[in-house]
Amino acid sequence: MIPGCVPWPEESARRYRELGLWTGRTLASLLHAHDGRTALVTATGERRTYRDLAGRAARLATGLHHLGVRPGERVIVHLPNSPELIDTLFALFTLGAAPVLALPPHRHDEIGHLAARTEPAAYVIPDHHQGFDHRELARRIHGPGQVIVAGQPEEFTPLDALYTEPADLKPPDPGDVALFLLSGGTTGRAKLIPRTHDDYLCNLRLSAANAQLTEDDVYLAALPIAHNYALGSPGVLGTLHAGGAVVLTPTPSPDDAFPIIERERVTVTGLVPSLGLLWAEAAAWTPHRLDSLRLVQLGGAAAGPELVADVEARLGRVQQSFGMAEGLLSQSPPDDGPELRAGAQGRPLSEQDEIRVVDESGAEVPAGQAGELLVRGPYTIRGYFRADDHNARAFTPDGFFRTGDLARVTPSGHLVICGRVKDVINRGGDKVPADEVEEHLLAHPHVRAAAVVAVPDHYLGERSCAYIVAGDEPPTLPAIGAFMRERGAAAYKIPDRMVVVPSLPLTPVGKVDKARLRGEAS
Ligand code: AMP
């Protein structure tokens, strides 16, 4: 294991192996079956087989090795959904270096933090994406490692030039870290989530089985593949595990996605609720045939019964998906009837997922009552990377992860998510940690105090509202937006609303009274 990661205790690891949950394979092995079947269809309709992808991964892995990337090292991968992203991931899985999966909207503040935390051997970027020049971003980062560019490289290394005659590389150990995902945030900056080959394969295999994926399935990657949901829940990797085909779309908008669903006869996709709403509205008038869709996952944020009904009426059967990059996945089993599909967030995927629901003191609540959800299991991490202090708070001494979500467990073992205790705004599935935004706001010369809270929103579920106490010249919201962009924050973290107040309300113990602010903002 890479130093700075927390392994599972030996006794648990042995049990997971004995139960066949950890199979001793690596993620690279996903491409070593199904030879001539289609594995990937690009947005322009170009098709690649499993054999093609395996060959490309072997050649790129060798080129990365020649460049000096070594097993156990980290590589920040900051690519949008693209064939290059698939090649890069499998090349790194083959080589045993771990991709650190940055999200497409991240900018130099977030990437600089990841670079400082992971000391990467390389940083892989597109030249441009959605009008943004990533080479400019790379120039602003301290210590990004070798910068590798898909597209016009300028002074950097072209990705294309790294595909080379494959050499025999020693395969990584299945217990090693395969990839780093980013936490949706609790407090402080995004934490790094080390997922091993063994645990992530378990994650995606269970999820693929629960979604009943087969070789005949065609999965549309509508959301960023860099996120756990579209990567492994079951997502791209779960589809490849089942021998199905993954289809890319330039954007998840109905204008782009619907013609592709029709053309490729897409059977499964995963959406956040805000996108589900948009697609259900657009499906009412689209000329495109969408009847190939047999399963539409809704997850990443709360999906209410009305939305589930709309999506089922217009698009296809819904599977609720509650999960987190740290591990636990709770998804509707195939035999859930309409009521459970509408009213519960599925069931944990493994019988070895140990669930506890606790009150504020950490004591378990009576069965069926709501409390904070704690989890331990074969695909839930035991600690973040290089984060000892945070780990001491985020995990119980006996290894349960404190999710920060409020849930109750029904007699049938389903989870119903009822809210959260963590100070995060879930903006249509994009997680905005309140304290990170507050830190940006407080850096503004005319902001004296700041508190960011969630406000309900019809489309996104939640939006962010910043309450600020200002000096003589209160900044406007556009000025705050420009200020945060200049500081290199991702655009989705910029507050949607701002209210200037003379002072922030305090609780009796002197903390900012966010509950009251939430009430005022709604
Ligand atoms: P991430 O690690 O970015 O996938 O974020 C995980 C967090 O997203 C969870 O801890 C929840 O707070 C939230 N989340 C994910 N799925 C759902 C869902 N179906 N309903 C409500 N919240 C969800």
Mean pLDDT across 75-97: 98
- If you measure from the C-alpha of residue 405 to the centroid of ligand 1, how many angstroms do you get, rounded to a whole number? 8
Q: Are 51 and 58 in contact (CB under 8 A)?
A: no
d(CA 281, CA 310): 9
Mean pLDDT across 189-200: 96
- pLDDT-derived band at 28 (thresholds 50, 70, 90) equals very high
What's the pLDDT tens digit per position in 367-385? 999 999 999 999 999 999 9
Residue 480 lies in a domain: yes
- pLDDT-derived band at 407 (thresholds 50, 70, 90) equals very high
Q: What sign results for the dihedral spanned by CA atoms 234, 240, 243, 248?
A: positive
The residue written with tokens 């980062």 in the block is 141
16 residue type, one letter: Y
| Contact 182 CB / ligand 1 (< 6 Å) | no
Q: How far apart are the first and last CA of the chain?
A: 47
Residue 71, pLDDT > 90, answer: yes
Residue 459 lies in a domain: yes
Other C-beta atoms lying within 10 Å of the C-beta of residue 337: 8
Closest CA to ligand 1's atom 23: 301
Residue 498 lies in a domain: yes
Token pair belonging to 6: 């927390």
| Contact 224 CB / ligand 1 (< 6 Å) | no
Residue 187, pLDDT > 90, answer: no
d(CA 372, CA 392): 17
- pLDDT-derived band at 1 (thresholds 50, 70, 90) equals confident
Provide the domain limits for residue 504.
424-521
- If you measure from the C-alpha of residue 49 to the centroid of ligand 1, how many angstroms do you get, rounded to a whole number? 33
Q: Are 214 and 37 in contact (CB under 8 A)?
A: no
In ligand 1, the atom with minimum distance to the C-alpha of 429 is: 8
Mean pLDDT across 499-508: 96
Residue 185, pLDDT > 90, answer: no
Closest CA to ligand 1's atom 9: 324
Residue 61 lies in a domain: no
- pLDDT-derived band at 2 (thresholds 50, 70, 90) equals confident
pLDDT given for residue 59 in this prediction:
98
> In b/e form, how buried is each residue of 443-466, taking b as 16+ CB within 10 angstroms?
ebeebeebbbbbbeeeebbbbbbb
What's the pLDDT tens digit per position in 233-288? 999 999 999 999 999 999 999 999 999 999 999 999 999 999 999 999 999 999 99
Residue 440 lies in a domain: yes
- pLDDT-derived band at 419 (thresholds 50, 70, 90) equals very high
d(CA 80, CA 95): 21
- The count of domains in the chain is 1
d(CA 219, CA 230): 10
d(CA 517, CA 450): 11
| Contact 180 CB / ligand 1 (< 6 Å) | no
What's the pLDDT tens digit per position in 452-487? 999 999 999 999 999 999 989 999 999 999 999 999
Q: What is the DSSP string of 230-244?
A: HHHSSHHHHHHHHT-
Other C-beta atoms lying within 10 Å of the C-beta of residue 216: 12
pLDDT > 90 fraction of the chain, expressed in percent and rounded: 98
Residue 183, pLDDT > 90, answer: yes
- 455: domain CATH number? 3.30.300.30
Residue 343, pLDDT > 80, answer: yes
- pLDDT-derived band at 522 (thresholds 50, 70, 90) equals confident
- The overall average pLDDT reported for the chain is 97
Burial of 235 (0-12, 13-18, 19+ CB in 10 A): buried
In ligand 1, the atom with minimum distance to the C-alpha of 403 is: 10
d(CA 45, CA 37): 15
Residue 445 lies in a domain: yes
pLDDT given for residue 188 in this prediction:
75
Residue 22 lies in a domain: no
| Contact 302 CB / ligand 1 (< 6 Å) | yes
pLDDT > 70 fraction of the chain, expressed in percent and rounded: 100
Return the closest-CA partner of residue 89 out of 257, 298, 267, 246: 246
Residue 432 lies in a domain: yes
pLDDT given for residue 184 in this prediction:
86
